[in-house]
Amino acid sequence: MKWTPLLATAGCLVAGVRARDFLSILPRLPQCGSECLVSSVSASSCSNILDADCICADSTFHSAATRCILNTCNVTDAILVAGLEAQACDRPVRDRHTDLILPLVIQIPAFFCPWLRLYSRWTLVQHLAVDDYLVLAAALIYIPIVVLSQCAVFGFGVDVWTVPIPEMTRALQLFFILETLYLTCLGLTKISVLCFYLRIFPQTKFRFCALFIMGLIIVSQVIIVFMQIFQCQPVSYTWEGWTKEDRDARCLNLNALTYSAAGASIAQDVIILLLPLPLLFKLQTGLKNKIGITIMFSLGIFILLTSCIRLRFLVSFGHTTNPSWDYTDPAIWSGVEIAVSLIVVCLPAIRSLVNHLVPGWVASVLSRTGGTRDGSTGASLPGITKGSRLARLSHRPKDGTILQTISHEVTYSSHGTNESQIELGRTSDVHHNDHFPG
Binding residues for heme: 51
d(CA 135, CA 196): 10
Pairing type for strands 232-233 and 250-251 reads: antiparallel
Instruction: Judge contact between 172 and 242, C-beta under 8 A.
Output: yes
| Annotated binding residues | 51
**In degrees rounded to 5, what are phi and psi of residue 12?**
-75, -5
d(CA 436, CA 438): 6
Single-letter residue type at 317: F
